[in-house]
Amino acid sequence: MSSRLFPWFFVIAGLLLFVAFSLFSVNMTEFAIRTRFGEIIDTRYKPGLHLKWPWDKVSKFDRRILSESYTGETFLTNDGRGLIVDFYVKWRVKDPSTYYTAVGGLEGLGAQRLAEIVKDGIKSVVAQRTLQQIVSAERAAVTEQMFGPASHNAEGLGVELVDVRVQRIDLPDEVAARVYESMKQSFAKTASRLRAEGQQESATIRSTAERQRTVILADAERDGLRTRGEGDAIATQTYARAYSKDPEFYAFYRSLQAYEHSLGKDSDLLVLSPDGEFFRYFKEAPAATAPRHH
């Protein structure tokens, strides 16, 4: 190679190095922050290829929702009982500048800081309750109470806390049996109280139904007696009018009714005198009565 080409070779190599250290790319799933000697220069980079000075530094952070699970974390309740809690956290970077300043450009440190914030929120909620209250409370209510303060504190880190969920709450082996026995006795007392209340309510319903039944039957019997009395009165009036029009025919009709109800049954036995008044219409026909003129 000619000695005259050496300077050009170094110039081209220097240009290539300058270009290599002056270009950087940003993906759609990333935030990019350009700093110069620790000072933030720009954060508004869209996806694509961008330029920078070779001595500038570019830090990138994932802009998607990130998730991290934490298992076996121990927290103390208000009555000094230990709880083993498994939970997970979902978050995303909201303010790249604040996030970069808080974690010093280390994304792993941000996850650790956020985990400590969430743990403090869980610790605060658990410390305000006894073990029985934690076990019997709605998990959604506990999660909501610790999510609010944790989300507020996470804003100072430059991230948005998307979700925090308690996956499992367990007890140490040495206290689990004692706690379960205490809960069993408490539930047994509650069941006895509910059964007693149910029996009392049942007796009240039965007595009310029996009283209503007695009132309904009494009213029905009263109405029936009144209706029968009215019917008997009407029948008596009808019989009286019929008797007054033709007493002989009325006597004959009543005798026929007596014959119908007294004779013709196999099991009946009547001992009567043939000359008695009962068989008067068998022996002679009633005298014809002259028609009445009104």
pLDDT digits (tens, 9 = 90+) for 157-183: 888 888 888 777 777 776 667 767 777
Strand partners, 165: 88
Contacts of residues 76-82 at CB distance under 8 Å and 24 or more positions apart, as own/partner, are 76/123, 76/126, 76/127, 77/126, 77/127, 77/129, 77/130, 77/131, 77/134, 78/127, 78/128, 78/129, 78/130, 78/133, 79/130, 79/131, 81/130, 81/131, 81/171, 81/175, 81/179, 82/171, 82/172, 82/175
Selection from 84, 58, 79 nearest residue 133 by Cα: 79
Percent of the chain with pLDDT over 70: 76
Q: According to the model, what pLDDT value does residue 110 have? A: 79
Q: Has residue 228 got a pLDDT over 80?
A: yes
* Listed ranges 97-111, 136-150, 246-260; the one with the highest mean pLDDT: 97-111
Q: Has residue 93 got a pLDDT over 70?
A: yes
Q: According to the model, what pLDDT value does residue 30 have? A: 86
3-state secondary structure the chain: CCCCHHHHHHHHHHHHHHHHHHEEEECCCEEEEEEECCEEEECCCCCEEEECCCCCEEEEEECCCEEEEEEEEEEECCCCCEEEEEEEEEEEECCHHHHHHHHCCCHHHHHHHHHHHHHHHHHHHHHCCCHHHHHHCCHHHHHHHHHHHHHHHHHCCCEEEEEEEEEEEECCHHHHHHHHHHHHHHHHHHHHHHHHHHHHHHHHHHHHHHHHHHHHHHHHHHHHHHHHHHHHHHHHHHHHHHHHHCHHHHHHHHHHHHHHHHCCCCCCCCCCCCCCHHHHHHHCCCCCCCCCCC
pLDDT digits (tens, 9 = 90+) for 255-277: 777 766 666 666 666 666 666 66
**pLDDT category of residue 290 using cuts at 50, 70 and 90:** very low
> Locate tokens 């007294």: which residue?
262
pTM of the model: 0.49
Report the length, in residues, of the chain: 294
Q: According to the model, what pLDDT value does residue 103 have? A: 79
With beta carbons less than 8 A apart as the criterion, state whether 76 and 64 touch. no
Average pLDDT, the chain: 78
CA terminus-to-terminus distance, the chain: 165
Q: Has residue 73 got a pLDDT over 70?
A: yes
Strand partners, 23: 51
Q: According to the model, what pLDDT value does residue 137 have? A: 64
Higher-pLDDT residue of 164 and 225 is: 225
Phi, psi of 182 (to 5 degrees): -65, -40
Q: Has residue 220 got a pLDDT over 90?
A: yes
Contacts for 64 with CB less than 8 Å, ≥ 6 apart: 29, 92
Q: What one-letter code names the amino acid at 216? A: I
Q: Could you tell me the two tokens for 214? A: 């007695």
